[in-house]
């Protein structure tokens, strides 16, 4: 009996290990199950009390997956088929997929949530989907094992007291994204906030057209850290970002930029800025979001994912080297 009991314990441990590996392999949903619910046990710092009726979501979940060399095409093909299955089966768990055009070859997933209730609904929908379609777990696990080398999940909460024209941001219109991660010095968050406020004021004086929002990281990165998101309808808006930076340098004879530089030296140590393009065929979005541009967001339906056999690269690999300014991160002050 003891031996039989030991066998059952081993079987349960093996099943638990298999389930854990399966959850870790989900390219978007592991982020929800681990980072989001781990973060929910922590108090969120005070936010602006004004009701948010527009703009980016309250919670932004960012899943970074770095790709293995030469696996871009295979990843995109398999992932697009997974997105089509979710759309075909009406699974109400949504994500936006973006592909890097600067920095390492990586894929970025965004999960948008306006409330903790939305998080709970996604977790419930995920559980039901996996129970009804266990083959998805295997496919998503293969997606990661065969094509990715590393992954990072970051959860942020929107800071309504920082940003520039943030309430005008519409992710359904986004076609490109500038993502800046700032690692602040512990105890100097106030200096970082003053840097962002000064930058927002300078952007307003210069009548900058491109809006940006700030998220405080509450899970996934060493804290304190902040993520500045700048959604763009096209890469042409980078011209506006560049012009705003040039105007900042000239403001008040350079005094404004010098002040920001001094604040930045106090406030934070490092920044990382990358550019991404939206991949609509690899995204699974709600009907409401897709309604803004059905031709862009709605991919054709496919019945099954492609076979696991390795295929030759049919599309050029994403560039690994960052282009020259203005796409390169400014230093030391963050430029959303």
Closest of 155, 117, 118, 172 to residue 30, by C-alpha: 155
Residue with tokens 């790709």: 67
Sorting pLDDT into bands at 50, 70 and 90, what band is 248?
low
Q: How confident is the model at residue 12 (pLDDT cuts 50, 70, 90)?
A: very low
**Could you tell me which residues come within 8 angstroms of residue 226 by beta carbon, excluding any fewer than 6 positions away?**
156, 159, 181, 182, 184, 192, 214, 215, 216, 217
User: Distance (Å, rounded) from C-alpha 69 to C-alpha 87?
Assistant: 29
Q: Mind listing the pLDDT tens digit for each residue in 125-141?
A: 888 888 888 888 888 88
pLDDT-derived band at 330 (thresholds 50, 70, 90) equals very low
Taking residues 207-228, report their average pLDDT: 90
The CA distance from 120 to 30, in Å, is 14
Domains of the chain by residue range = 14-43+54-297
For the segment 33-82, what is each residue's pLDDT rounded down to a tens digit? 333 443 333 333 333 334 334 679 999 999 999 999 999 999 999 999 99
As a whole number, mean pLDDT of residues 226-248 equals 77
pLDDT at site 268 = 72
pLDDT of residue 207: 77
Q: How confident is the model at residue 114, as a pLDDT?
A: 92
Model pLDDT for residues 299-320, shown as the tens digit of each residue:
554 444 444 443 333 333 333 3
Residue 289 has pLDDT above 50, yes or no: yes
pTM to 2 decimal places: 0.72
Give the model's pLDDT for residue 18.
36
SS3 assignment, position 329: coil
pLDDT (0 to 100) of residue 200 = 83
Provide the CA 259 distance to its chain's centre, in angstroms. 31
State pLDDT tens for residues 157-174: 999 999 999 999 999 999
- 14-43+54-297 folds as Alpha-Beta Plaits (3.30.70)
Per the prediction, the chain carries an average pLDDT of 73
Cβ within 8 Å of residue 246, ≥6 positions away: none
Q: 80-138: per-residue pLDDT in tens?
A: 999 988 998 999 999 999 999 998 899 999 999 998 888 888 888 888 888 888 888 88
Residue 292's pLDDT is 87
Residue percentage of the chain with pLDDT more than 70: 65
- Predicted pLDDT of residue 252: 53
What local confidence, expressed as pLDDT, does residue 195 receive? 80
**pLDDT on residue 231:** 94
- 57 φ, ψ to 5°? -70, 165
Alpha carbon of residue 234 to chain centroid: 18
């Amino acid at each position: 009996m003891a031996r039989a009991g030991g066998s059952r314990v081993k079987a349960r441990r093996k099943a638990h290990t298999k389930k854990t590996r399966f959850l870790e392999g989900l390219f978007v949903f592991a982020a929800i199950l681990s980072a989001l619910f781990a973060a929910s046990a922590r108090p969120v710092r005070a936010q602006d009390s004004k009701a948010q009726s527009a703009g980016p979501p309250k919670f932004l979940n960012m899943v970074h997956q770095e790709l293995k060399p030469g696996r871009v095409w295979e990843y995109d093909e398999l992932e697009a088929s997974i997105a089509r299955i979710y759309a075909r089966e009406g699974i109400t768990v949504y994500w936006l997929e973006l592909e890097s055009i600067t920095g390492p070859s990586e894929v970025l997933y965004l999960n948008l949530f306006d409330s903790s209730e939305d998080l709970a609904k996604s977790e419930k929908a995920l559980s039901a989907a996996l129970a009804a379609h266990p083959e998805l777990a295997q496919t998503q696990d293969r997606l990661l094992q065969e094509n990715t080398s590393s992954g990072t999940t970051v959860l942020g909460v929107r800071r309504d007291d920082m940003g520039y024209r943030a309430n005008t941001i519409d992710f359904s219109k986004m076609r490109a994204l500038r993502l800046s991660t700032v690692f602040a010095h512990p105890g100097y968050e106030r200096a970082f906030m003053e840097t962002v406020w000064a930058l927002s004021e300078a952007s307003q004086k210069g009548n900058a057209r491109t809006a940006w929002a700030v998220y405080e990281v509450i899970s996934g990165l060493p804290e304190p850290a902040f993520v500045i998101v700048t959604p763009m309808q096209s890469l042409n808006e980078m011209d506006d970002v560049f012009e705003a930076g040039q105007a900042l340098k000239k403001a008040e004879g350079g005094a404004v930029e010098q002040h920001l530089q001094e604040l930045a030296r106090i406030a934070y140590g490092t920044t990382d800025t990358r550019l991404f393009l939206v991949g609509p065929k690899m995204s699974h979005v709600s009907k409401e979001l897709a309604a803004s541009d059905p031709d862009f967001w709605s991919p054709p339906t496919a019945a099954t994912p492609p076979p696991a056999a390795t295929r030759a690269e049919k599309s050029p690999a994403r560039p690994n080297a960052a282009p020259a300014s203005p796409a390169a991160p400014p230093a030391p002050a963050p430029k959303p």
